[in-house]
Amino acid sequence: MTEKPPTTPLADRMRPQSLDDFVGQDHLLGPGKLLRRAIEEDRLQSMILWGPPGSGKTTLASIIARRTKAKFVPFSAVLASIKEVKEVMAQAEDLRRLLGQRTIVFVDEIHRFNRAQQDAFLPHVEKGDILLIGATTENPSFEVNSALLSRCKVYVLNALSPDDLVGLLRRAIEGDPAMRELRLEVSDAVLRFVAESSQGDARAALGAIEFAASNAPADPDGVRRLSRAAAEDALQKSALYYDKSGEEHFNVISALHKSLRNSEPDAALYWLARMLEAGEDPLYVARRLVRFASEDVGVADPWALVVANAAKDAVEFVGMPEGKLALAEAAVYLAAAPKSNRLYVAYAAVVKDIEAGAIHPVPLHIRNAPTGLMKSLGYGKGYEYAHDVDEGVTGMSCLPAALQERRYYEPGDRGFEKTIAERLATWEAIRRKMREERDAK
């Protein structure tokens, strides 16, 4: 590593200068891997580096800059304007045409570029004027123009493992000159705590250890011993990796929904807390729980919808943070409830028939007849009042004639639906007998 001034942040001082020093991402940069070979042999194509914060996207781009024979131009999507982009593209075109040299353009946070800015790269990527390297924490499928994305190879970087981060922290403590001067002593247990609390983010882990070390008191012998409490103080509350408007928002709510569906209350509580502690709108979570109660529990447990709505009401009534427990109670109840999607399937089947043209008039016998004219036209004629018979059901059908044999709702054998299935079978037998007796007259 090139030695940098001690005033430079530790994360920058520890930035690897070669692929051999790079931590993590063995699936991309391990010996013999395609991306590593392409970098070493200078046979790169335009690419998007997609990964969470602190996973090494910018570091990898800087290593490529040192290895390649191309001119390297870094961009920040937060600061760059369309005018600057076009100026760099023009310079790159001249450089390739006059000197045969290609330009590598590195765009940090490329998802922050608008469509016009991204479109400005497209013709130059196609002509080979530039090799584009975009870095993003967001799903490029949604954030990068499809035309540009189709011309780039997407490499997915993973969050660093705790073992990776512990090794990186130990290397920083023992190898960085400024850290060595502090004479820091820290146990592997404390380093692992910092690593696990940093959510795979090398920058966050190095920043925390640097802050804790610089503020730790020195013993009479000049040694600074870093305790777990000091590390906790340096970390404060871990900034949860969760974007309320980005892909991680949808990933985590999907994880909650699927945990509930799979009847795993522990997993449901974990994903619920991930959202709430990151500042998600509790009413958004409540709405999803209400939806789940109808979609995945249904009438296998009719109380599920009541509990979910009660949690929503509690959040509105008591607010946060107290409302978190109401949502947690609802999540556990829904996870433990018997599951059935028969109601969801039945409604979807009805909608499918309607969209296919099954728009039939209401049968005359179940129409209301408030006027003499309507009665004379047969409205209400033949209607059978269920309360007038001992069985509580009659032999008439309330479906249009064209749908007499159609069955939309087929109850399962879980929870309360088993009872419903028995009731429906009993009533169908009664109706069938009544129809047979009526037809025999």
| pLDDT number for residue 389 | 82
Residue of 137, 118, 115, 113 whose CA lies nearest to 246: 137
| pLDDT number for residue 312 | 92
pLDDT band, very low/low/confident/very high, at 436 (cuts 50, 70, 90): confident
| pLDDT number for residue 5 | 58
Per residue in 135-173, pLDDT (tens digit) is 988 888 878 888 888 888 899 998 888 899 999 999 988
Per residue in 232-253, pLDDT (tens digit) is 777 765 445 555 555 667 788 8
The CATH fold assigned to 247-336 is Zinc Finger, Delta Prime; domain 3 (1.20.272)
Q: Which distant-in-sequence residues (6+ apart) come within 8 Å of 202 by Cβ?
A: 11, 23, 54, 55, 56, 160, 164, 165, 168
The average confidence (pLDDT) of the chain is 83
Q: What is the CATH number of domain 162-235?
A: 1.10.8.60
Q: Which residue has the tokens 């639906």?
A: 417
3 SS3 class: coil
| pLDDT number for residue 245 | 52
| pLDDT number for residue 79 | 60
* Paired tokens of 355: 């969209």
| pLDDT number for residue 241 | 52
Q: How many other CB atoms are there within 10 angstroms of residue 197's CB atom?
A: 20
Q: Map out the domains of the chain as residue ranges.
A: 24-156, 162-235, 247-336, 360-440
Per residue in 321-377, pLDDT (tens digit) is 888 999 999 999 999 999 988 888 988 888 888 888 888 888 888 788 888 888 888
Asked whether 124 and 148 are in contact (CB, 8 A), the reply is no
Per residue in 13-50, pLDDT (tens digit) is 888 888 888 888 889 888 888 889 888 888 888 899 99
Asked whether 13 and 4 are in contact (CB, 8 A), the reply is yes
26 φ, ψ (degrees, to nearest 5): -60, -25
Asked whether 221 and 235 are in contact (CB, 8 A), the reply is no
Domains 247-336 and 360-440 share a fold: no
Domain 360-440, what architecture? Orthogonal Bundle (1.10)
On the question of pLDDT at 2 being above 60, the answer is: no
What is the domain class of 24-156 according to CATH?
alpha beta
| pLDDT number for residue 3 | 57
